[in-house]
């Protein structure tokens, strides 16, 4: 059973398009992180959301944490080829720092 369902798992779009990635769970998280990972490298933290209903923006990226702290979304506006990569959501349930990862979304932005 996947505790954090991430979708879609694969996404191929044209430059300039918008996209949204979702992470859903039946569990409550104390916080949720979004990471971006390039091949052969470790994940790089994009944002942490902590408060239910919180919205954070990072340039063209908008992150939202659900009111009940069970789900989150990442929206990218006007995608660029440099946005290509693996996007991972990870939830913290206050279990000694252990993170629960979603399945990941492999994003490909074509010129």
Partner 1 sequence: GAVVSQHPSRVICKSGTSVKIECRSLDFQATTMFWYRQFPKQSLMLMATSNEGSKATYEQGVEKDKFLINHASLTLSTLTVTSAHPEDSSFYICSARDRRLSNQPQHFGDGTRLSIL
Footprint of partner 1 on this chain (CB under 8 A)? 6, 31, 33, 35, 40-45, 48, 50, 86, 88, 96-99, 101-104, 106
CB of residue 19 vs partner 1: minimum separation in angstroms? 17
Count CB atoms within 10 A of the CB of residue 93. 16
d(CA 27, CA 33): 15
CB of residue 31 vs partner 1: minimum separation in angstroms? 7
Q: Hunting for tokens 């929206």 — which residue is that? A: 75
Smaller CB separation from partner 1, 76 or 88? 88
Smaller CB separation from partner 1, 9 or 14? 9
d(CA 4, CA 37): 18
């Amino acid at each position: 059973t996947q505790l954090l369902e991430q979708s879609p798992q694969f996404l191929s779009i044209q430059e300039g398009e918008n996209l949204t990635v979702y992470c859903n769970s039946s569990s409550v998280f104390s916080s949720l992180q979004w990471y971006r990972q390039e091949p052969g490298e470790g994940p790089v933290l994009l944002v942490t959301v902590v408060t239910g209903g919180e919205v954070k923006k990072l340039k063209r990226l908008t992150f939202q944490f659900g009111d009940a702290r069970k789900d989150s979304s990442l929206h990218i506006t006007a995608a660029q080829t440099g946005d290509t990569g693996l996007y991972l959501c990870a939830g913290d349930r206050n279990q000694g720092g252990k993170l629960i990862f979603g399945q990941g979304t492999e994003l490909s932005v074509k010129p």
